[in-house]
Amino acid sequence: MPSAHIYPLSRLVHAGPRAWQRMLEEIEEGSSYAFSYYLPMREAVVQFCSSRGHGRDQIVREMTTRARTSARLGRGDRLRDNTNAFETFEVVFYPKIRRFRRSLLHEKQDGYDFEGLTLLGAPHFEADDSAGRRRYAFLHAAKWSDDDLAAYLELLSIVVEEGYGADSRNLWIMDLRKGEDIRWRSSARMRRRCRDTAMLYAKLVNAIGTE
């Protein structure tokens, strides 16, 4: 069964035929520039939460070192963007966390069956919010279109439901660009589009494999 990560697959949901070729290549590579761009920040956030804020300066130094090193590998001001995103999390969202439970960044995944695909991907960490509800946090820092974000969150909700036995309403989407929670609800229409995209991708991969 072919596999696909939810990030590149979400880009196929609203993509035109020309964009599919580029996105298919990205899926085949199993990684993306977008994933690595904010990885220093994500790792710093989960380390900061797991240490309950202790060693903050050291955590930030390690983050900036990683961001500077990776900044040579691509476009954008990676150091500035990671630093700004971390500071937004620290000021706006960290006070809303009652209990940090675990990081999900490097958790081993078996994947989830989804319309002929093995779906890969995960939230960034698990925590209890200020009301004591268990939440699955997604640190949203990149500039995505509304359509791409909606498709990604729909696929992420499938992972939360299948992998963690939780409701999609347990997603905690932290907008680190605007410093606010993103209010989002699963949509039957978007779920259908994601299913159709997954089925088409699986058919293409299987067809290519039989040539």
> In which order are the strands placed within the sheet that holds 171-175?
97-103, 125-129, 134-140, 171-175, 180-181
pLDDT of residue 3: 87
Say whether pTM exceeds 0.85.
yes
pLDDT of residue 128: 98
pLDDT of residue 28: 60
With cut-offs at 50, 70 and 90, classify the pLDDT of residue 24.
confident
**117-120 and 97-103 strand pairing:** unpaired
pLDDT of residue 70: 63
Q: How far apart are CA 69 and CA 83, in angstroms?
A: 14
Average pLDDT over residues 27-40: 70
With cut-offs at 50, 70 and 90, classify the pLDDT of residue 27.
low
* Token representation of residue 69: 């090193």
Query: pLDDT tens for residues 123-173?
Result: 999 999 999 999 999 999 999 999 999 999 999 999 999 999 999 999 999
Sign of CA dihedral 72, 74, 79, 83: negative
pLDDT of residue 210: 52
With cut-offs at 50, 70 and 90, classify the pLDDT of residue 182.
very high
Q: How far apart are CA 90 and CA 51, in angstroms?
A: 13
pLDDT of residue 204: 84
Q: How far apart are CA 68 and CA 54, in angstroms?
A: 23
Q: How far apart are CA 58 and CA 144, in angstroms?
A: 31
Lowest mean pLDDT among 25-29, 54-58, 183-187: 25-29
Average pLDDT over residues 98-124: 92
